[in-house]
Amino acid sequence: MPKRTRAVLLILMLAMASMTAAKEVSRAPPMGWNSWDSFGFTIDEADFKANASVLAGLHGYGWTYVVIDQGWYMRHPFAAKLQTRDYVVDAHGLLVPALNRFPSAANGQGFKPLADWVHAHGLKFGIHVVRGVPRQAVAADLPVAGSAFHAKEVADTADTCPWDDSNYGVRDTPAGQAYYDSMLAMYARWGVDFLKVDCIADHPYKISEIRQIAKAIRKTGRPIVLSLSPGPTQLSHAAEIRRYGQMWRITNDVWDGWSFVHDHPTDTFPSGISNLFDRLPLWAGQARDGHWPDADMLPIGTLAPHPGFGPARPSRLTMDEQRTLLTLQAIARSPFILGANLTRLDDATRALITNKDVIAVNQSSRDNHPVTRLPKGFDHVRVWVASGRRDGERYLAIFNLDDKPVSLHAPWSELGLASGSYDARDLWSGQPRKVSARLSLDLPAHGCALLSMRPAR
């Protein structure tokens, strides 16, 4: 075979491999753990490994990604002001791990040793960044690796994140692209599998930087999940953002409350569980093909020692509310990202996150959507349906949003199913229900039911 023909074939094979990797990077909603809800800025290597070790024991249920959230580059994460937290950057203006917290990053290795350790445990490794280029890199006008550009050519000094002004925005220019290319090339060398980028999906929405980061990921040839925050991402951006991201937040930060009182009607931080019942229906039909509207993390279990919001505590959600949150995220096919300190995992929380039937709804159901017209007596009730893996299987999720218990009665035909009698199984308890032509169900306040339905023979 002529050398030129072999070269062309090699290029085509590499291109096809890259396209396949990109296509398969998140075939189902990503499942994993993120440090923010329990550690805020303060996670260190020892605590990270301790939590990752627990997640490795849950990998058989689908839990895969372990993600270090914001602050891994801060020498002093407990400092009161951003300016005194002492960010660490390398000679090319890129943030690198603080050695006093991540000692395995010594000798310029970055997160590669830690990522290798994660991979050896059968898991995948992720990190969080705020979009942009560090101010200190711009002040020193550091050179951009692999290019003739410098940081001052990269930075849009009129653009900073409203809640973290330590970075400047990145210009939509060759210099800006070169900076993100150098950043993602470094992350690929480290072995990063998941990248959460903040201050980019809403307030403000920065599509130019989303495109640059997605392009930089493609150039690495490494399958990296791109998670875009914060929310609520606007529905008008749906077609555009799903072209570039595998996950995008459709709500502001969700914490452990059914609802929160805000001083201003436009304030959405923090968001409670009840807010998701308004946000997720807007995105019905978008959760597919490796792209997932993200209803934020699961603030369940123990949130300690240094949560990203509020004091150290057991989750303030009741067990019924925690089950409702997992059920809603399952039936809407949102990514499952745990916030609990896994080293303090109690039996009740472990039971929630190891229910294979509920996880299967999240990972493999289809045609997921809310039922928009409900029968009389369902005033404070929400219903979602989906199709299951087996022929004729349907999933039915019923939620009581009221502050008091409710008794529900209706034929299946009024709940998004075909008329007739059904065999049903409760996926939380695993118990079968009597064959019936109608629903008869009692739900506690903020409680739910998740049923697998098949036409009775």
Q: How would DSSP label each residue in 382-414?
A: EEEEEE-SSTT-EEEEEEE-SSS-EEEEEEGGG
Return the amino acid letter for 405.
P
DSSP state of 40: G
Name beta bridge partners: 336: 31
CA atoms of 454 and 67, how far apart (whole Å): 38
Cα–Cα separations (whole angstroms), residue 59 to 55, 122, 304, 363: 6, 8, 23, 14
Structural domain including 381 reads 369-455
4 belongs to a structural domain: no
Tokens 């973290």 — which residue?
Answer: 164
Domain end marker among 314, 348, 364: 364
* Whether residues 276 and 406 fall in one domain: no
Total domains in the fold of the chain: 2
Q: Are residues 300 and 405 in the same domain?
A: no
Whether residues 90 and 153 share a domain: the answer is yes
Number of Cα atoms under 13 Å in the Cβ half of residue 80:
0
Q: Are 261 and 395 within one domain?
A: no
- Would you say residue 6 lies in a domain? no
- Let me know if 136 is exposed, middle or buried by CB neighbors in 10 A (0-12, 13-18, 19+): middle
Sheet containing 124-130: which strands, arranged edge to edge?
A: 292-294, 247-249, 225-228, 194-198, 124-130, 65-68, 31-34, 336-338
pLDDT at 90 (0 to 100): 98
pLDDT value for 22: 44
Q: Do 139 and 264 reside in the same domain of the chain?
A: yes
Residue ending a domain, choose from 314, 347, 364: 364
Whether 276 and 268 have beta carbons less than 8 Å apart is answered as no
CA separation for the pair 61, 123 (Å, rounded):
12
Pair (45, 137) in one structural domain: yes
Which of 364, 398, 423 is where one domain is finished? 364
β-sheet bridge partners, residue 87? 74
Residues 350 and 374 in one domain: no
Query: Does any domain span residue 11?
Result: no
Query: What pLDDT is attached to residue 183?
Result: 98
CATH number of the structural domain spanning residue 416: 2.60.40.1180
Assign 302 to helix, strand or coil.
Answer: strand
Residues 231 and 296 sit within 8 Å (Cβ to Cβ): yes
- Asked if 300 and 317 touch (Cβ cutoff 8 Å), the reply is yes
The two structure tokens encoding residue 427: 């996926």
In a structure prediction context, what are the per-residue pLDDT tens digits for the chain, which is 457 residues long? 555 555 444 444 444 444 444 456 999 999 999 999 999 999 999 999 999 999 999 999 999 999 999 999 999 999 988 779 999 999 999 999 999 999 999 999 999 999 999 999 999 999 999 999 999 999 999 999 999 999 999 999 999 999 999 999 999 999 999 999 999 999 999 999 999 999 999 999 999 999 999 999 999 999 999 999 999 999 999 999 999 999 999 999 999 999 998 888 778 899 999 999 999 999 999 999 999 999 999 999 999 999 999 999 999 999 999 999 999 999 999 999 999 999 999 999 999 999 999 999 999 999 999 999 999 999 999 999 999 988 889 999 999 999 999 999 999 999 999 999 999 999 999 999 999 999 999 999 999 999 999 999 8
Query: For the chain, how many residues are written?
Result: 457
What is the predicted pLDDT for the residue at 395?
98
| Global pTM value | 0.94
- Residue 18: its pLDDT value, please? 41
Pairing outcome for strands 422-426 and 448-455 = antiparallel
- Measured CA to CA, the distance from residue 45 to residue 117 in angstroms comes to 11
Q: What tokens appear for 26 in the block?
A: 């998140």
Q: Does one domain contain both 62 and 48? A: yes
pLDDT, position 451: 98
Residues 167 and 135 sit within 8 Å (Cβ to Cβ): yes
